[in-house]
Amino acid sequence: MASQPLFSTLPPTIEWRDGDLLLLDQTRLPHEIVVENIADVKAVWRAIRELRVRGAPAIGVAAAYGLCIAMRDSTTLPVALYRAELERHANWLEAARPTAVNLSWGVRRMLRHARDIDAKDSATLHAALVEEAKRIHDEDRALCEGIGEHGMPLIREGIGVLTHCNAGALATTGIGTATAPIYAARRAGLAFKVYADETRPLLQGARLTAFELQQAGVDVTLIMDSAAASIMSQGLVDLVIVGTDRVAANGDFANKIGTLGLAIAANHYGIPFYVACPSSTLDLQTASGSRIEIEERDAEEITHLAGRRIAPDAMQARNPAFDVTPHALVSGFITERGIVRAPFERSLRTLFDAEGTAA
């Protein structure tokens, strides 16, 4: 399977070019295509926090490169001071978004690599860190391809597939997670239909998923989040595939708010519900979904639309960015090593080691 999706109109989500970090600003899509040259680690933190780069896998890659940006002017420091400064930046960068495990996974992997390298000077250590970030980037593309390969058999000629938020190419540096089987099936010549939830309040499904699938020539229809159950009731949906930001050891998982409702509706109508999950998004150190920290975002995201207030003045609001779906509602996890089925606590640990990475 090719490493790029079927469209060629978009620049890469993330690019490392001769020491410069380039990010596609996803807040401007689909109407503007703007690539930012990220100057410093503060700009990386803001890009992650403000969703200019988003999607758990892409955040992990951006964070790894972000540490390279943070440390590029510190190569004259003694090695011990370089490592200490690196850890300070890592701790700060990790706090940008708490739910997506790839963020902490990426920065912790970079820290482990820095500790493991027997470097006599900081310049050598820095060069090794840049190479490690590039490996993380390459691995992300490979993980997406593996998910596409193992998930494609779930998609049959003529079926309807529903997805939520954006777990596509724009959320990764490859062909996406939830969209990887879709792109693989499209390349294989299968004809099928995709329903994309709009995904309130920031409309990632409307702005990003519907856009990239349309660009790729996939038959996609945009629906309101609240229409999903009705569409299911009409027999139009045969399969649900969503992404995830963190999977706990027992198979509970966190994903964009609204996923739990989809899982409940799919269970009611007997529709298979699959989660596309690269190993970098597994958190086998967290026992269950009740232990996953859920990011609460600014109330203005739901009290305002396109900068204009739509709710009454002084209205209280809750804006959790994610919800947790219990493992009992999951048909299986599509990973780069195969589809994992219940009992998840045993099967996930069988396929992956205790660190949450491929065994």
Angle between helices 56-71 and 101-116 (to 10 degrees): 40
Q: Average pLDDT in the 211-236 region?
A: 97
Range with lowest mean pLDDT among 92-106, 173-187, 203-217: 92-106
Q: What is the pLDDT, as a whole number, of residue 8? A: 58
Is 26 annotated to bind a ligand? Reply is no
Q: What is the pLDDT, as a whole number, of residue 359? A: 40
284, amino acid identity: L
User: Could you please report the per-residue DSSP string of 179-211?
Assistant: THHHHHHHHTT---EEEEE--TTTTHIIIIIHH
229, amino acid identity: A
pLDDT per residue over 143-153, tens digit each?
999 999 999 99
pLDDT above 70 covers what percent of the chain? 96
Q: What is the pLDDT, as a whole number, of residue 3? A: 43
238 assigned to active site: no
Q: Are 328 and 272 in contact (CB under 8 A)?
A: no
pTM (predicted TM-score):
0.92
Q: Which candidate, 215, 298, 288, 223, places its Cα nearest to that of 252?
A: 288
Q: Average pLDDT in the 135-144 region?
A: 96
Is 151 annotated to bind a ligand? Reply is no
Q: Average pLDDT in the 117-131 region?
A: 94
pLDDT per residue over 226-241, tens digit each?
999 999 999 999 999 9
Q: Name the CATH superfamily for 14-145.
A: translation initiation factor eif-2b, domain 1 (1.20.120.420)
Q: What is the pLDDT, as a whole number, of residue 307? A: 86
Q: What CA–CA distance (Å, rounded) separates 149 from 213?
A: 18
Tokens describing residue 75: 């190569």
Catalytic residue among 225, 238, 245, 252: 245
Q: Average pLDDT in the 175-200 region?
A: 97
Is 83 annotated to bind a ligand? Reply is no
Is 56 annotated to bind a ligand? Reply is yes
Q: Average pLDDT in the 75-88 region?
A: 95
pLDDT per residue over 276-321, tens digit each?
999 999 999 999 999 999 999 999 999 998 889 999 999 999 999 9
pLDDT bucket at 196, cuts 50 / 70 / 90: very high
CATH class given for the domain over 150-351? alpha beta
What is the chain's mean pLDDT, rounded? 93
User: Could you please report the per-residue DSSP string of 18-78?
Assistant: TTEEEEE-TTSTTT---EEEE-SHHHHHHHHHTTSS-SHHHHHHHHHHHHHHHHTT-TTS-
Q: What is the pLDDT, as a whole number, of residue 4? A: 47
Q: What CA–CA distance (Å, rounded) separates 19 from 283?
A: 31
Q: Are 321 and 256 in contact (CB under 8 A)?
A: yes
Q: Kindly list the domain boundaries of the chain, sorted by start residue.
A: 14-145, 150-351
pLDDT above 90 covers what percent of the chain? 89
Would you say residue 358 has pLDDT above 90?
no
pLDDT bucket at 1, cuts 50 / 70 / 90: very low
Is 215 annotated to bind a ligand? Reply is no
Is 97 annotated to bind a ligand? Reply is yes
Is 108 annotated to bind a ligand? Reply is no
